[in-house]
Amino acid sequence: MQSERFSEEETSYWLKVKREAHLGSLQPLEDAAKQIVVITSLLQGIYFAAISISDIKKVNDTTNVWFDAFIVLSMLTLGLWMASLYFATRVFLPRVYDARLQGPDPEDEAREVRTVYKKTSSYKYRRLKCAAWLLWLSFLPFAINVLIYLARLRVPPPK
């Protein structure tokens, strides 16, 4: 584990990271994940409310290809939103990496803390990036679904 030598400043820095990691050094990633959770949850709430008050249930014609497309795209959109929520919440519940708390050599300890810190931040960043991409990807089937609803589905008039 002696592949590189740390200067005294580097050793001190990584030991400081260890001591202060719990104070929020990964906070920006968690804040962004919270925003994705809020946006996705809000979109789902609005979508379900719109479906509930619309007359889409009256169409209920599985021989209509546009109705089938609407159902498939709804499921795809909801699936992407749920996947986005999953990855965003993984930012809050990352893997646990075991770091040796005390060691005889502060330089080795600093190297180990740096490794664990990099693994944790990398894990959180990858999950956040995946959540964001899934959210953005969900807008395509969502937009097509809205167009199908507005332009192609014929809702029977009220009786």
Residue 15 within any structural domain of the chain: no
Q: Please state, in angstroms and rounded to a whole number, the distance separating the CA atoms of residues 112 and 107.
A: 9
Q: What phi-psi label fits residue 7: left (phi over 0), alpha (psi between -120 and 50 degrees) or beta?
A: beta
Render pLDDT for 61-106 as a digit per residue (tens, 0 to 9): 778 899 999 999 999 999 999 999 999 999 987 666 665 656 677 7
The number of distinct structural domains making up the chain is: 1
91 within 8 A of 128, measured Cβ to Cβ:
yes
Helices 106-151 and 27-53, packing angle to 10 deg = 20
Q: Is residue 20 part of a domain?
A: no
The boundaries of the domain holding residue 44 are 26-151
| pLDDT at residue 142 greater than cutoff 60 | yes
Global pTM?
0.76
- Asked if residue 97 lies in contact with residue 116, where contact means CB atoms within 8 angstroms, the answer is yes
User: Residues, the chain, total?
Assistant: 159
